[in-house]
Chains A and B, each alone.
Chain A
Amino acid sequence: MLINAVIIVLREVLEASLIMSLFLAYSQHVTVSRLWLLLGIVLGGLFAWAYAAHISTFSNWFDGVGQEVINAGLQLAIYFILLGFITQALIGVSKPIQRITLISLMVLGIVLASIREGTEIVLFITGFSAAPDLLQAVLIGSSIGAGIGMSVGVCIYYLLVTMTFKNSVRLGYVLTLLIAAAMISQVVQQLIQADWIISQYPLWDTSNWINERSLVGQLLYALIGYEATPTPIQVSAYFSAIAMIVFVSFYQLSRHTK
């Protein structure tokens, strides 16, 4: 039970932790206060709790696929927040309005990521309240999982803040781009499961090389949205998501360097 709890919580925490490390590192570089993070986590945690408490109601929305539609909505919103964040980060935050925009985007991003990932943790742990003999192992396992997930974020954070600003923005840009594209891949996955997007045969199968169950597979899933058997729509949405961010970045840069 303990190991299982470690894996479940780690998987959920990893994604939110990666996004947080990117936001924090940029805030550190441009000396934006990092108190917003706390606000985002607390708000997100409260919403996740409320959502988990009423999950049965939400699940019944849209003929029983409410969960998928809400998850897809959250992830689509996170994608656009990352898009806004990365373009703002490229331009810089010299004006007060730019700082406010950046902080708002980051708070909202953390709230949404915490809801998305926190709900499952809440549902998992509260399920054991009826089994006190297992609860302790689950809580210990969950703490270890959360710890490992946060450690990965801390490593990436320190990697980014110890670099020069220019290099940090470059690496941060690539990481944000990949995480954002992973969000879109998950949006498509959720909507296929809900039957809102047609299901297709996978374009390829790389499960013999990197299994999604493996540690590498899980890490790649969080970082680049790795999927061993993606459908053609999923793959094209993934690359369109990357293309859109690159286009917007170039547009914003050209507008601001004129």
Chain B
Amino acid sequence: MNIKLLPIITILILSSISLTLNAAPLFEINIQNHLFYPDELVIPADTKVKLVINNKDDSAEEFESYELNREKVIPGHSSGVIFIGPLPAGSYPFFGEFFPKTAQGKIIVK
């Protein structure tokens, strides 16, 4: 066991981080009265997209999807950015964790 391996491990971790600067197509979802508009969003397969979520309610909402591995709090009257994909074709449900009874939707990848 050698401490000299530490920098190598650190470099390995850091080298996996890369700033990907190519512009991703933009999609928007609005939250209003604890509902998503649209509640079905179609995005292209195998493409990274930038999802902007505009929360028009007073209360915060948490965009969450186990299938997409995404979760983010969107404060009331503000917007949040989430990058998703590239994804294989399929249906990926998402929901608002704070108001899951009404805030339901899915992303269709084709």
Quick check: A195 and B9 within 8 Å, CB to CB?
no
- Could you tell me which residues of chain A, from 182 to 240, have a CB within 8 Å of some CB in chain B? 189, 191-199, 201, 207, 211-213, 227-229, 233, 236-237, 240
Whole-angstrom CA separation of A56 from B16 in the bound complex:
29
Quick check: B20 and A198 within 8 Å, CB to CB?
yes
A-B pair number, CB within 8 angstroms: 110
Quick check: A59 and B70 within 8 Å, CB to CB?
no
Q: Would you give the shortest CB distance from A112 to chain B, in whole angstroms? A: 18
Q: Given A130-B58, A244-B6, is A199 in contact with B86 using a C-beta cutoff of 8 Å?
A: yes
Residue B89, interface by CB 8 Å: no
A4, A192, A199, A244 pick with most chain B CB within 10 angstroms:
A199
Quick check: B98 and A127 within 8 Å, CB to CB?
yes
The interface residues of chain A lying within 8 Å CB-to-CB of B76 are: 127
Question: A interface, by DSSP: helix, strand, loop or mixed?
Answer: helix
Other-chain residue from A8, A67, A127, A199 in contact with B59 (beta carbon distance below 8 A): A127
A59, A131, A196 pick with most chain B CB within 10 angstroms:
A59
Whole-angstrom CA separation of A224 from B69 in the bound complex:
16
Residue A65, interface by CB 8 Å: yes
Residue B38, interface by CB 8 Å: no
Question: B interface, by DSSP: helix, strand, loop or mixed?
Answer: loop
Quick check: B18 and A55 within 8 Å, CB to CB?
no
Quick check: B59 and A56 within 8 Å, CB to CB?
no
Place the interface of chain B in its size category: 35 or more
Q: How many residues of chain A get a CB closer than 8 Å to chain B's CBs? A: 49
Q: Given A56-B78, A193-B72, A244-B9, is A213 in contact with B16 using a C-beta cutoff of 8 Å?
A: no
Quick check: A233 and B9 within 8 Å, CB to CB?
no
Which A-chain residue is minimally distant from B17 (CB atoms)? Answer: A197
Instruction: List B residues at the A interface (Cβ < 8 Å).
Output: 1-3, 5-6, 9-10, 12-13, 16-20, 24, 48, 50, 52, 58-62, 66-67, 69-70, 72-86, 88, 97-98, 100-101
Instruction: List A residues at the B interface (Cβ < 8 Å).
Output: 4, 8, 55-56, 59, 63-65, 67-68, 119-120, 123-124, 126-128, 130-131, 189, 191-199, 201, 207, 211-213, 227-229, 233, 236-237, 240, 243-244, 246-248, 250-251, 254
